[in-house]
Amino acid sequence: MTRLRLGLFDNSLTDYATLKAIDGVMGVVDGDNQLQIILGPGKAQTAKDLVEVQLHNTPSASDSAQNNDLSYITKANKDQIKSRQNGAIKGFFAKFATIFTPLIPGFIAAGLLLGIATLIEQNVILTDTSPNLLLVDSVSYIKVFSKGLFTFLGILVGYNAQQAFGGSGVNGAILASLFVLTYNATGTVGYYSGMTEFFGFAIDARGNIIGILIATILGAKVEQCIRRLVPDNFDMLLTSTFTLLIMGIITYLVIMPMGVYLFDGMSFLFKHLNSNPIGAAILAGLFLIAVMFGIHQGFVPVYIALVADQGFNSLFPILAMAGGGQVGAAIALFVRSPKGSLLRKQISGAIIPGFLGIGEPLIYGVTLPRIKPFITACIGGAAGGFFIGLVAMLGLPMGLNSVFGPSGIIAIPFMTSHDGVMPAMLVYFTGLIITYLTGFIVTYFCGCKNIDLS
């Protein structure tokens, strides 16, 4: 949404200094064999379209005499393979981004509608002795979208996951449906699968999203192996058929039981971390480092597990505090920098998006290049995380009403808890104020010494 991502043939030819000096470029990140140019929301897509036009009108690299030199090709291929080896973990989490990023607009829309409906329900309908029937029906209508999303979320994830790892999306959706179907003939929720056991083995689909990810990632590999063995003429008929039959057996006998243990363990671990002030402070303080290395997408399965277990995502508001620390640090840098300086101009353009939860311009354009303010911003985020963890420990756990949503002040209407939405929103807002203040104070006194403020 905010970055132009370029796959480069030779990273050594990149002129970072010139790139960073271009007006509108907020930062440049070298991600192994992928160059990321941070442009901000709404601009990355425009830049992508312009680059594609330019590439279309430019001779390909293979036409270059230099690229026909064997030593050059050998070096380029060696560097590319090495970068892939070094970036295996990054590459794995990058595929997580292709699974969940397309779902984010739906998460945000459903969460916003659910937040509005819950506010009306708790503060108008439930306190009214004779509620307006039109209002009651309107609230039911607004809430139905989130129910639809969370009921069939696994199928969407399964489709994207198997496709991301090299398989057919529809096979992933069908494997994911095994976790969505119900195996209780007398159950009133869900669609009955027609089977209560698998050849005498009990079926427990509680692993849900963890099991779906394992099944579809493995399913993509199985599908690739089968496709290599099946003659081309029979590919459409046999590849998916054998993939589903084999993966169905593995899913029922191995993945579902394993998924339950992983799901329960993950839920237990993060629920206790989130309700522990020290654990919450560490999570919030280190989250920007996870963003910097591109592994923050790995938290999304945890988000889904927490929503399924608690009814809300208690980890998200803790991690969102990290962005608040950046805002506080940026304000401190603005105050300490000379009037008319380029730094002030950069901060003034990025601070509003920062308040609205878009932190990349501040991270890559302001704090991270100067190191110390990045560290003090992380301390500010840790302070907010500590507060939310402390409140949870004292008896008011809260979180996002959706799997994913915006951060910053925009996230306030998305907050909920078992004690209502108003206390949750107040806790989140207070946490943000604490991060702003802590990030500002620590940066003002400790993060501005011996750094470039011009």
From start to end of 111-210, where are the E strands?
A: 197-198, 201-202
Let me know: does 3 contact 39? Beta carbons within 8 Å: yes
pLDDT band for position 32 (50/70/90)?
low
Query: Does pLDDT of 294 surpass 70?
Result: no
Query: Does pLDDT of 56 surpass 50?
Result: yes
CA pair distance 360, 317, nearest whole angstrom: 18
Query: Does pLDDT of 78 surpass 60?
Result: no
| Mean pLDDT, residues 332-339 | 93
pLDDT band for position 266 (50/70/90)?
confident
pLDDT band for position 72 (50/70/90)?
low
pLDDT top residue among 45 and 300: 300
Check residue 83 and give its pLDDT: 55
Check residue 361 and give its pLDDT: 78
| Mean pLDDT, residues 212-223 | 94
Average pLDDT taken over every residue of the chain: 85
Let me know: does 240 contact 223? Beta carbons within 8 Å: yes
Check residue 329 and give its pLDDT: 95
Query: Does pLDDT of 172 surpass 70?
Result: yes
Query: Does pLDDT of 399 surpass 90?
Result: yes
pLDDT band for position 289 (50/70/90)?
confident
What's the gap between Cα 65 and its chain centre? Answer: 43
| Mean pLDDT, residues 439-448 | 94
CA pair distance 348, 25, nearest whole angstrom: 15
| Mean pLDDT, residues 426-441 | 97
- Kindly tell me the sign of the dihedral angle through the C-alpha atoms of 299, 305, 310, 312: positive
Q: Which of 94-108, 243-257, 270-284 has the lowest mean pLDDT?
A: 94-108
Check residue 35 and give its pLDDT: 87
| Mean pLDDT, residues 48-76 | 61
Query: Does pLDDT of 276 surpass 90?
Result: yes
Phi first, then psi: what are they for 5, rounded to 5°? -105, 125
CA pair distance 145, 296, nearest whole angstrom: 27
CA pair distance 335, 365, nearest whole angstrom: 17
Check residue 59 and give its pLDDT: 61
- Kindly tell me the sign of the dihedral angle through the C-alpha atoms of 5, 11, 13, 15: positive
Let me know: does 428 contact 412? Beta carbons within 8 Å: yes
pLDDT band for position 76 (50/70/90)?
low
CA pair distance 216, 221, nearest whole angstrom: 9
Check residue 68 and give its pLDDT: 45
Check residue 312 and give its pLDDT: 93
pLDDT band for position 74 (50/70/90)?
very low
Check residue 81 and give its pLDDT: 47
| Mean pLDDT, residues 96-123 | 85
| Ramachandran class of 340: left when φ > 0, alpha when ψ lies in -120 to 50, beta otherwise | left
| Mean pLDDT, residues 368-385 | 93
Check residue 42 and give its pLDDT: 66
Let me know: does 364 contact 26? Beta carbons within 8 Å: yes
pLDDT band for position 73 (50/70/90)?
very low
pLDDT band for position 291 (50/70/90)?
confident
Query: Does pLDDT of 137 surpass 60?
Result: yes
Query: Does pLDDT of 71 surpass 50?
Result: no
